[in-house]
Structure 1
């Protein structure tokens, strides 16, 4: 999956209800993922997708967005973590 400007346009900041980051243990590495919730629909992205940095920059403009989400998700390694970076609900 590529996170294109067209996809970002479908994620208007005013419509986003929640942003949750988490990681999946893939045995030798962790994969950081992000769920964006809009009107009950969940959009799922991961850090290996082209455009990931554009997505995180877009989401960071949300009011009250948790800037330390990355540090909260990555530690400790190989353990499930879930971090709510934004919740309008």
Structure 2
């Protein structure tokens, strides 16, 4: 999925309930992924999508967003590592 400005527009900061980062084992590498819960649905993204940096910049504007989420996700390699970067609840 390409992360365009139209996709980001579907993620108004005031409506985002939760942001979770995790990695998926791709056999020889790990793929960093992000689930955004907004308005009762979950949208999933990954670091290989064009526009990933724009998405991260947008999400970083959430109040109390965990800025160091990336440090927690990659380690240990090839193990499940889920990090909640934002939770409105």
TM-score using structure 1 length: 0.98
Question: In the alignment, what sits opposite 2:29?
Answer: 29
Moved over 2 A (4+): none
Question: In the alignment, what sits opposite 1:57?
Answer: 57
1:11-68 CA distances to partner (integer Å, 9 max, x unpaired)? 0000000000000011100000000001220000000000000000000000000001
TM-score using structure 2 length: 0.98
Q: Counterparts of 1:5-84 in structure 2 under 5 Å? A: 5-84=5-84
Structure 1: give runs of 5+ residues left out of the alignment: none
Q: CA deviation at 1:2?
A: 0.7
CA distance in 1, matches of 2:3, 2:45: 8
- SS in structure 2 opposite 1:43? strand
CA distance in 2, matches of 1:52, 1:39: 21
- SS in structure 1 opposite 2:73? helix
For this pair of structures, how many residues does the alignment match? 89
